[in-house]
Structure 1
Amino acid sequence: MTKLQIISKQWSLIYDLLLLNKGASERTLDEIEQDMDTLEFHCRKYVEADDEELMS
């Protein structure tokens, strides 16, 4: 998963949580949490990486 895909998925999850909070979500909290766990797994490869945007 690329950094752009991760950011896109984060925004998707934010909106899922907002809809869930308003009672308008088609997804359950368990489904959203499962996606969050998957996303966290994909973020791990960037934990020790240098921030190239700040270096240039």
Structure 2
Amino acid sequence: LIATGGTLVAAAQLVRRMGAQIHEAAAIIDLPELGGSRKLQDMGIPTFTLTAFELNER
């Protein structure tokens, strides 16, 4: 699940700090309104998800 992206961004930074390259990120669900997948793409990490859910306010 990609929500705000905080966990994946932190993991990507740690992996890069160790000298590894990240080719892409993948998740089952994206919540695009929270901006997590955009943060990863802004870091130059192609991001793939199986589905995306829009949040509905009630």
Range into which the TM-score falls when normalised by the shorter chain: 0.3 to 0.5
The higher-RCO structure (CA 8 Å, 6+ apart) is 2
TM-score, length-normalised on structure 2?
A: 0.35
- Structure with the higher helix share, 1 or 2: 1
- Structure with the higher strand share, 1 or 2: 2
TM-score, length-normalised on structure 1?
A: 0.36
Rg larger for: 1
